[in-house]
Amino acid sequence: MKRIELTDIKKAYGETVVIPKMSFSIADGERLVLLGPSGCGKSTLLRMIAGLENIQEGVLKISGEDVSNVAPGQRNIAMVFQNYALYPHMTVEDNITYGLRQNKVPKEEVEKRLDMVLDMLDLRVYRKRKPKELSGGQRQRVSLARATVKNSEVFLLDEPLSNLDAQLRVSARQSLLDIHEKFKQTIVYVTHDQIEAMTFATKVILLNKGEIQMYDEPYNVYHHPSNVFTAKFIGSPSMNIMEHVHIISNFIRIGKQRMVLDREWRGYLEENTNYFCGIRPENLRITKKKSEQEYSQIEATVQYIENLGANFAVYLQVEGSQLVAVIKEPDFDVNEKVYIEFLQDHLHFFDGTTEKNLGRPASLHSQRQ
Interface ranges with other proteins (CB under 8 A): 50-52, 71-75, 77-79, 81-89, 98-99, 102-103, 132, 146, 150
- Least distance from C-beta 109 to other proteins, angstroms? 16
- Least distance from C-beta 157 to other proteins, angstroms? 12
Phi, psi for residue 262 in degrees, rounded to 5: -60, 155
- Least distance from C-beta 4 to other proteins, angstroms? 16
Give the nearer residue to other proteins in terms of CB position, either 73 or 136.
73
Beta bridge partners of 289: none
Contact (CB, 8 A) for 117 and 182: no
- Least distance from C-beta 126 to other proteins, angstroms? 18
Beta bridge partners of 287: 339
Distance CA 335, CA 300 (A): 9
- Least distance from C-beta 72 to other proteins, angstroms? 5
- Least distance from C-beta 255 to other proteins, angstroms? 51
Give the nearer residue to other proteins in terms of CB position, either 76 or 257.
76
Distance CA 329, CA 314 (A): 10
| Burial readout 260-292 (b: 16 or more C-beta within 10 A, e: otherwise) | bbbeebeebbeeeeebbbbbbbebbebeeeeee
Give the nearer residue to other proteins in terms of CB position, either 131 or 278.
131
69: exposed, middle or buried (C-beta count within 10 Å: 0-12, 13-18, 19+)?
Answer: exposed
Distance CA 346, CA 92 (A): 50
What ranges make up the beta strands (E) of the chain?
A: 4-13, 16-26, 31-35, 57-62, 65-66, 77-80, 154-158, 186-191, 203-208, 211-216, 240-248, 251-254, 257-260, 275-279, 284-287, 298-307, 312-318, 321-327, 337-342, 348-351
Give the nearer residue to other proteins in terms of CB position, either 163 or 321.
163
- Least distance from C-beta 2 to other proteins, angstroms? 16
Give the nearer residue to other proteins in terms of CB position, either 85 or 177.
85
Cα separation values, 28 from 3, 96, 125, 154, Å: 5, 26, 35, 9
- Least distance from C-beta 81 to other proteins, angstroms? 4
Give the nearer residue to other proteins in terms of CB position, either 87 or 219.
87
Give the nearer residue to other proteins in terms of CB position, either 18 or 231.
18
Give the nearer residue to other proteins in terms of CB position, either 80 or 302.
80
Within 10 A of 327 (CB to CB), how many other CB atoms are there? 16
